[in-house]
Structures are given as C-alpha cells and as structure tokens.
Chain A
Amino acid sequence: MELCPTIKNILLLDSEGKRIAVKYYSDDWPTNAAKEAFEKAVFTKTQKTNARTEAEITMFDNYIVVYKFVQDLHFFVTGGENENEIILATVLQGFFDAVGLLLRGTEDKKEALENLDLILLCLDEIVDGGYELSFIVLSIILETDANVIAGKVDSHSMDAGAPLSEQTITQALATAREHLTRSLLK
C-alpha cells in the first residue's frame, strides 16, 4: 500500500484557526495535542496568503499542505513529502466544491456549523480508513468528484422527504416546527 496515494489529514478550520471539522487518516499525530499543534502551525503558516481564487501549496516538517479559503472557512489537505501534489489538490478541490454545493452557496462558518452533519458525511465519503487495524493505519481515497460526493451526502434529505406517508403526524409536526425555529434563528 505504500505506493498508493495517501492523504494524511483533511482540515476545515475557521478564520482564527479553530476546528470546524477535521479528520486524520494517519497516526503521525497520536494525541489531540499533537493534532492541535499541527493545525496551529498550518494555520499560522498559511494565514497571510491569498488562497481564494486558486488552491495554494506549502511544504513544512516534511509534509505537503494544499489549501484554499473562502469567506471565513479554511480548507486544508495534507500529504507526505513524496506525494503527488496534484492528487492532493484534486482531493482538496473535491472537498471544497462539495461543501460549496451542500451549503448552497452560503459558504461561511455559521452555515458550516449549522450543517456540520453534512460536512462530516462529506469527509466520510472522500477518504475511507484512518482506523487502526492490527497496528497499521490504512486509508484510501474514496471519491474526488464534488458532484458525486455532494450527491451521496445529500441523497438522504431528498429520499427522506419523499415517503411522508410513512411518518406519523407527530413526527411530521416536529419536523415542521424544527424547520420553523431554524428559519427564525437565521
């Protein structure tokens, strides 16, 4: 598997470097403190760059990090120093665009947190693995096409809406009330 393109982590941070959603697929950072230190380093290194039109790239501590920002959302994908940079950028673009599709154009921290379930599902669809199996941590790229990723994540909301007959009246009411409070909060 050492020949297989490998993603070390995918990070979505806010404009202060705080976590919105992160997923590590490697045991290079065994503790939460190590992860936070890495995120801080990545954030400080890239903070001042303009990665809004094209994805940017940097290298430090023997990792390659590709990144792209929109509003107050900072997207990062990390790979090892020998990884094909363009593969990393493809994964980043897939994640970035899929989140854009799922948030329906309102891409900011608030919207991202309100739809955190969708973003977590998104990460689950992009790379599989990152779990320890008999002391080997394996991961493999699952999908890089933003439309496919977003489609897989979002399919449920459409499907769930369809068979309304299966829902009880109370459930339907609860859903309606939920929608109402959500829209009031906005």
Chain B
Amino acid sequence: MAQPFLKKDDDHDDEADYSPFLGIEKGAVLQEARVFNDPQLDPRRCSQVITKLLYLLNQGETFTKVEATEVFFAVTKLFQSRDLGLRRMVYVIIKELSPSADEVIIVTSSLMKDMTSKTDMYRANAIRVLCRITDGTLLTQIERYLKQAIVDKNPVVASAALVSGIHLLQTNPEIVKRWSNEVQEAVQSRAALVQFHALALLHQIRQNDRLAVNKLVSSLTRGSVRSPLAQCLLIRYTSQVIRESASNTQTGDRPFYDFLEGCLRHKAEMVIFEAARAITELNGVTSRELTPAITVLQLFLSSTKPVLRFAAVRTLNKVAMTHPIAVTNCNIDMESLISDQNRSIATLAITTLLKTGNESSVDRLMKQITTFMSDIADEFKIVVIEAIRSLCLKFPLKHRSLMNFLSNILREEGGFEYKKAIVDSIVILIRDIPEAKESGLLHLCEFIEDCEFTYLSTQILHFLGIEGPKTSDPSKYIRYIYNRVHLENATVRAGILLQPHIFVLLRRCLFDTDDEVRDRATLYLNTLVADGAVVETGEDVKEFLFGSLDIPLVNLERSLKNYEPSEESFDINSVPKEVKIQPLAEKKAPGKKPTGLGGPPPGPPSTIDAYEKLLSSIPEFSNFGKLFKSSAPVELTEAETEYAVNVVKHIFDGHVVFQYNCTNTIPEQLLENVTVIVDASEAEEFAEVASKPLRSLPYDSPGQTFVAFEKPEGVPAVGKFSNMLRFIVKEVDPSTGEAEDDGVEDEYQLEELEVVAADYMLKVGVSNFRNAWESMGPDCERVDEYGLGPRENLAEAVNAVINLLGMQPCEGTEVVPSNSRSHTCLLSGVYIGNVKVLVRLQFGIDGPKDVAMKLAVRSEDEAVSDVIHEIVASG
C-alpha cells in the first residue's frame, strides 16, 4: 500500500500528493482478488480489494468479459462472510459488474436469503441488487416479498422496493401493475422519501389513463403530501393535467390554480420555486395569475444563495419575453444583480432588464453595462448585443446612446462572432432607424480603417456602397472607401450614383501604383463617360459592371491573356466556368520559388483551358460539345509503384471522357500501345464509344490514354468502373537506351473509379448569398429534413454533405466553430445544363448523438432542386 510518493517542486506539503491508489495496476488488483477464495476470509482486506476494483472502474478502466466473470465468481464467495461492511461493498460491485443471466443464477439464492433477512440494510440492498440484475423469470418468485417490502415499516426497505418497481415497470409492466394497492398505501407513508417514490411509481403505473391521473391529482392536491420532492412531483403532474384540460374550461377559474398558488407559501424553497415556475408556464397565463409567482421570485433575487438568484432570474428572463410589464416590478432588484459575482446571473439580469426597461432607464443601464462588458465571455456578450439591438428598435429615440455603446465596444478586443454581432446590429439599426443612419455609417467607416476581419470589411464596404449615396453628404464616405480602394466593386457601386465625386476619385486612381487598379479605373471611367454625363446611367451598364458575374475571375483573366487582339471581339461565353483545380502532379515542392525580383512568379497553369484544347484536338471527341467540368486527378495506383496512373473525369452533356495520365517509372522498360480496359458493368447507364490508346510510353515521360462513354443526355448518371492497364512491354538496354524489337503483352490492375453526383456540379461561388437567394425566389424551392445518424461532430457532418454535393461553400460557412450544436452552411454551384443552384443547410445536433439536417434548395429548375434532394437522400 505504501508506495513512494512523487515529490512536487514545492515540497512544502509532502502528504498532499499521497494517494493509496498510487501506481495501482489492473493486473495486480485482479491477482489480489484471489483473497476472496480464502477459506478464512479477511473482511477488511476483501473490502479494500473491492474498493480498488471499484476505483479502477471509476477511473474508466474496463474489464474484459473473462476478467469480469472471474471477479464476479470470486465475489459470490464473499456472501459467506457476515461482515456488514463487506456485504455492502459486495452489493455495489455486483451492480457494477452487471453479470449476465447465467451468472446471476449463482447469487440468486444468496440475495433471496438477504431479502428475507431480519437486518433492514440487507433487505433493502438485496432488493435493489436483485431487481437490477434479474431478467424477469425470477420476478414471479420474489413478487410476494417485493409487495411486502413496499409496505415495510422501515422506510429504507420500502423505498428500495418502490424504486426497483419504477425500474421493473419498464421491462415487466404487467407484474408491477398488480402492486397498485400496496403502492397507494405507501403514498400515505409518513416517511418523506417513501412518499416521493410511491407517488412517482403510482403515476407511472397510471400514466396512460388520463382519468386515473386526474383522480390522483385531485385527491392529493387536497393536502396529504409532506415530502418536498413529492410535492414538486405533484406540481408537475398538476401542470400536466391543467395543460390537457385547458380546452374544457373556457370560462371561469383555472382548475388547480389555487393549489399552485398555495404551494408558493410552502416552507421548502424547491416547492415554492417549482410552483412559481409552473404558474409562469401556464398556457395564456393572465397578469393576475402571474403576480403572486413574480412576487416570490422577486424575493429570491435578493437571496444570499446564488442558486436561488439564478433560478429566479432565469425564470423571470423567460417571463419577460412574453409579459415584460409583469417583470418591471423586479427591476430594482434586477439592477443590483448586474454586479453579481456569478456572471451567468449578471448576464441574465442584464438581458431581462433590456427587455423590460423603459425609455428613461436606458442611459443608466448602458452605463452599467459598459463596465460589465469587459469581464464576461464572448458568448455572453453576444446575448447582450442582441438584447440591445431589440431595445433600440423598441425605443428609436434612444438610438444615440445605444449606437455610441455599440461603437465603443466595436473598438475593443473581441472575436469574429462577437464583432459580427455588433456590425449586424449597427446595420439593422441603420436600416430601420433613419436618424441613426449617418452616425452608424461613420462608426462602420472608422471600424474598417483598422479591421482584422476581411469578411466584415467587405460586407461593410458593400453596405456603404448601397447606403452612402443616399446620405446628405456622400463625399464623406468616399475617403474611407478610397482608403480601401482595392475592393473595387463596392466603391463603384457607390460611384454610379455619385458621378461628379467619383470622377475625381477614379482619375486619381489612374496614377495608382498598381496596374490592376489603373486598369479598372480606366474601364469604369470610360463606361461612365461613354454613357455621357447622363444621370440615369443605363441599366445594362449596371448589369455589366455589377450583375452577378458567374465566371470565376481567374478564368476570365486567363482567357483574356490568351486572347489575341483581332477583328473578332472577345466572347465572354467562351470562358470556362469551373474554378481551376491545381493538378497534383504540378504542385511545386516548397522552397523552389524563384528568389530574384525579376518578373512575377509564373501563374498557375491553366488546367481547364489545357484540357479543353487537348480534348478538342482528338477527333473522336470533337462532337461531344462543350466541356462542362473536369475533375481533379484521382490516383488509381499506390505511390512508388511501377506504373503511376491517375485519372481525370471530363464531363460533357451526353458523354464522359476518362483521361488516364500514365507514367512509366522503370528505366529498363518501354511500353507500347497502352490502353485501359474499362469494365462498366456497375455503371449501367454508360456505354463505351471510343478509346484512344497511347502509342508509346517511355521511362519517366508521362502520356495519356483516353476512354469515352456515352450516357443519357443531361442525366447525372453515376456508376463504378474497374480499370485494367494493358500494354506491350519491351526491354530497354540501359547503356544504349534502345528497345528490343519483340515485346510481351502484359496487364496491370488499377484501382476502381467512380462517377458521382458531385461530378455534375460546378463549384461556382456567389459574392452575396442572401441577395442571390432572394433574387432566385422560392418558386423552385424544395425543403426537406434528413437524419444523418451519429457523427463525431458537426464539422464532420458538414464536410460530408459539402463533398457529397460538390458545391462551393459561401461566406466561410464551411467552417464550424468547435463545440457548436447547430450550424448553417451556404453552398452555391452550377448544375449540368447550366442551372444555378443555391443550397442552405441547417445542421443540428441532438444530444451527443445524432445529427439532423434541414436542406433547402433553390434553383432555376425544380427538377434540379429535386435532384439535389435525391443526391442527399441516396448519399
């Protein structure tokens, strides 16, 4: 037992780290458990070993089936000892080991003997253990004893039997229901806990018989319940009866209200609170009914016990949502809680006050909150911000002090969610309270001068662009916008309506050091000037500049670079819409970047373009039409194998082309006539139409072979394909590099490849999801809910759905904050046939277990909306 203890750095108290369990090991303890088999039992020693076993289980250690069985058998020997203390430990460990049915038989007779013992402690515990481990067949044998035990004059025995009855009712309801008379007698017991357990069991037995529950409640509310816990239970049963009978009594007094009100004068705090809470939760509660409940809760607010203050303020906070006037009486007590040591109480108090406060108290409240804000966690701050927002909307005249408050906290430290809550609130206030607009906009302007969150800056600039021009002096905002001029789009949105001012700004931009800014300034300037100084700049210009650009800018840029000036003007429709994917093979090793200053680093290779060029150069594929999408390369071989093959899936409207990129890694071999034999038996809708072999594949010089399939036009057909690389291999003389004339035919098994629903979806983002969502309209909206089953966490579920759909997450919503229990994710994409699709996913986690998801799809075609649901339903 006496293990050497570890010394702490500051060894002022050696014994602090001493533990009788230091260095304890499962194996050793299981060995020690052999003392249970000694013919001369040492009860104290045995108790200690059981304690050690329980300690191990409590620390999360598990026993294998064999170990548990061995310990259980050894423990059964201990019934020979008559030591009371040891017997108690035996009872506990039997429950913890949860023996199987065939093992239980061994202890049954010992436990049944204890059940009829003269010692109360034996009877009570044996009942609990036996009912815990028995499987029902035994129940008929012991039923007689259990019925007796329920009315036993020792309350511990009676409670043990009643509690066991509650458990057994789940598995053997027919038997337990036969005990009604005894249970009813126990409800009248003088022992408090017996009454509580009896009431719980009796209600449980009758719960499906409404009339019987009614009778139970009406007889007991006349007052024979002494136990506070039983009284709480009765209040809950009463509330349920009131809820269910509410429709019968349209007029007159609410039944049982007097009972609830009477409970407010009970001597136990738990009963008073239970009754007060029950009253506040009554359906359609009147202010007359509420008053006495609010009065007792108000008393709790000034209690010395934090638990009471918390319980009261939490309940009042809920009442304030529906009956703010009823809570105003508590405002003075509530204000003193703002400085409560317990921050949960303080936050609840503040949000209650913000809901119930009147116009005159706003300024004082704001002052108090300011001192409080700095020392609460972000999650509480967000709650406070939301309350302030609704308060401001309620008292628009107070916008000045509320707006000041918001701008002050905006300048202080805080995380993204918190800052976003503040910015959102300011934006809402600007929209809804015209007087607050100018000051609000200026606060936002100052914020973006020094804002660490790009997303917020962009949103604010966008908002400035919309709201700025409508103000009395728009030029004020231009300075701020100019400072952030790299975010052009918003700038010029404002510019359109601010022409005289924006010209200056744009001209100044012509001297900008950055090429891109100069180019854009020239473009906008020309557009505006070309249209003349007409105020009503044409809608088409607006559309041209600011209409949703459904082409990724990188692609547009690349196409423009490739475009050679000629008579034929540039056709924007020729720009591919897929976001480029950097192929694995072309990833540069880190550290290889050019170090010199000469020239910009080479841009990313234009994969999509290259693919399109490559495919259109092959005559067999030339009539497939426009390439819709090319997937990222999928590896079909393990790394470091003789032949490295990956595949790119090219999707056309009515065809699919697999491009196999092959590399030969053996210097002594030359491969010729390389093809891939594809077995499409698990892809029923696909039919092979062409195959383009690779004539020769020398060492370390990649080449491609293609296989094309026909599929129903516009249909997102899916399937599995198995692949076999077939070729003629020729030996190469390493000294000369020349290949022999004769080759041997050989095959090489590749991994399977799949065409999935996501292959028919282009990742195309939108800049402002909400606008896009609203302009799409609900005509082709489809909404449904799905259970995703148990998941590690929300982030995993969100990723799984994003990958399944193959769409572009918008506004950073693919990131799930850790420990969230709900999350909304926004996706956008273009479905085959050029149909825009927007998806809103709402995830919720149910307990620690299952993830549920609500999927809302909007698209230009309801058939496509349905398809998205089908993908999710079958994924």
Contact = CB atoms under 8 A, between A and B. Distances in A.
Contact of B307 (A66, A153, A171): A66
Interface residues of A, number: 70
B265 to A, nearest CB: 16
Contact of A117 (B40, B89, B305, B342): B89
Contact of B308 (A3, A34, A86, A155): A86
Given A28-B848, A86-B269, A117-B51, A157 B233 contact: no
B128 interface: yes
A174 B84 contact: no
Interface string A1-15: 101110000000000
A59 B269 CA distance: 20
Contacts of A29: 848
A85 B307 contact: yes
Q: Is the interface of B mostly helix, strand, loop or mixed?
A: helix
Contact of B54 (A113, A120, A160, A178): A120
B98 interface: yes
A57 interface: yes
Given A36-B60, A50-B341, A110-B18, A3 B307 contact: no
B838 to A, nearest CB: 31
B139 to A, nearest CB: 13
Given A28-B847, A59-B344, A86-B270, A134 B229 contact: no
A168 B48 CA distance: 19
B156 A152 contact: yes
Contacts, number: 177
A62 B864 CA distance: 39
Contacts of B273: 84-86
Given A28-B847, A50-B341, A124-B92, A140 B200 contact: yes
**A88, A117, A157 interface centre (most CB from chain B within 10 Å):** A117
B7 interface: no
B171 interface: yes
A129 B307 CA distance: 26
Contacts of A160: 43, 83-85
Contacts of B200: 1, 4, 140
B166 A5 contact: no
A164 B821 CA distance: 59
B60 A32 contact: yes
B42 interface: yes
Interface string A130-170: 01011010101111100000001101110110000010101
B197 A140 contact: yes
Interface residues of B, number: 76
A109 B19 CA distance: 8
A4 B233 contact: yes
A86 B311 contact: yes
Contacts of B848: 28-30, 34
A49 interface: yes
A41 B232 CA distance: 30
Contacts of B304: 54
A133 B307 contact: no
B344 A58 contact: yes
A70 interface: no
A155 B308 CA distance: 34
Contacts of A21: 58
B163 interface: yes
A1 B48 CA distance: 37
A110 B819 CA distance: 35
Given A84-B274, A124-B92, A61 B821 contact: yes
A140 B166 contact: yes
B341 A138 contact: no
Given A4-B233, A5-B232, A84-B232, A157 B85 contact: yes
Contact of A22 (B51, B58, B196, B849): B58
10 contacts: A19-B60, A49-B341, A57-B306, A110-B18, A117-B54, A120-B58, A121-B92, A129-B163, A133-B170, A152-B156
